[in-house]
Amino acid sequence: MNNTNRKSGISLSLAIASTLGLLIFSSYSLTNDVFAQQNISSSGDGDNFQPNISAESIFNTKTMTLGNNVKNLVILIPNEGHHAAGEDNEARFLDQHFVPENAVVNTGTTVEWFNGDAGHERTIAVKDTDGTASLFNTGEIVDSQASNPFTFSNPGVFNYEAEGDPGVTMTGSVTVDDIQSPVTASSSSTSNSNSGTIDTVGILMVPTQDIDSYIGQITSAGITVDNTYDFKDLRGGQEGTGDTQTLIVWTTAGKDLTETLSSLSELSADLPYS
C-alpha cells in the first residue's frame, strides 16, 4: 500500500471512530435525559422542572409541576381511591390514590390535602427525605374537608401515605426544588381578572354529566376553572354519576384559602358520590 492510500485509510478509520464515538455519546445522553424525565428526583436545579398543571397530563402521568409563583397546593384524595387495583367489581374511579399522586413544588410551598372520598376519613403521614421518620401527620381528615396545612421548606423528595382498605396503602410524593419558571393560566380558562397571577392551585373531581352546574358554582365562589379533562372511569358508571368523570384544575389569586376551601367543601358534600 503506497503512502497516499495508507493516509486515506487512516483518515477514514479515524472518521469512523469519531462518528461511532459521537453516536454512542449521543445515545448515552438521550437515554439519561429520558431517564431523568421519567424519574422524579430532587436535582437541586429547578431548571429541570417545567411547570405543567394540565388536567389531562395529571391524569396520564399522575404528576403536576407547579411554578415559582404558586404558594399553595391542594391535593385531592379522590373518591374510592382507597380500593385495591384489579378488584372483581372495580370500585375506583381512576388509577391514583391522590390527585396528583406526584407533586413537584417550589421550596416554601404550603400543601393541604382535600378529602373527596365520600363517607371516609383519612390520615396522611409525611416522611422525611430518608423515609425513616415522620415529618408531618395531618390527623384525621373527614370527607369534604381539607387537612391542616404543611409548608415544605427544604428541598428533597418527601413520600407520604395513608391507610385505605385492609391491605391497601395509599401513597404519594411531594418533590421540592427551586423551580425557576412561573406557571401561567390556561388560555381557555374560565378566568377572573387576577388569573394571570396564580398563587394557589388545586384539583377537584366531579361527574361530567353535570359539569356546567359545577363550573358555575366554582366560578361564582370567585375560583377560576383553569382547565378540565373528561375521562371514562374504571368502574364503568354508577347511578347518579354516569360513567364519565371530569378532573378540574382550579386556581385562585390573592384569595383567602380558607374561604376557597369552604366553598369547595360545600360543593363536594353535595356530589353524588357514595
Same domain for 101 and 230, yes or no, is: yes
212: left (phi over 0), alpha (psi -120 to 50) or beta: alpha
Please, which residues have CB within 8 angstroms of residue 159's CB and are 6 or more apart in sequence?
A: 126, 127, 131, 171, 172, 173
**Stated pTM of the model:** 0.81
Within a domain: residue 46? no
Q: How much is the pLDDT for 5? A: 46
pLDDT tens digit string along 192-213? 444 458 999 999 999 999 999 9
In a domain, 274, yes or no: no
- Pair (196, 220) in one structural domain: yes
Output Rg (C-alpha) for the chain, integer angstroms: 23
What are 138's three cell numbers?
Answer: 395531618
Residue 123 lies in a domain: yes
| Residue 239 within a domain | yes
Three-class SS state of 263 = helix
Say if residue 14 is in the same domain as residue 107.
Answer: no
Same domain, 134 and 257: yes
How far apart CA 30 and CA 153 sit, in angstroms, is 33
Q: How far is CA 224 from the centre of its chain?
A: 18
Evaluate if residue 26 carries a pLDDT over 60.
Answer: no
Confidence of residue 45 (pLDDT cuts 50, 70, 90): low
Give the separation between CA 116 and CA 103, rounded to whole angstroms.
18
Give 234's Cβ-side CA count (13 Å radius): 19
Question: Residue 23 pLDDT more than 70?
Answer: no
* Residue 3 Rama label (left phi>0; alpha psi -120 to 50; beta): alpha
Full domain range(s) for residue 175: 55-269
The answer to whether residues 35 and 106 belong to one domain is no
Q: 262 and 206 share a domain?
A: yes
Say if residue 164 is in the same domain as residue 81: yes
CATH of the domain at 210: 2.60.40.420
176, 43 contact by CB (below 8 A): no
190 is a domain residue: yes
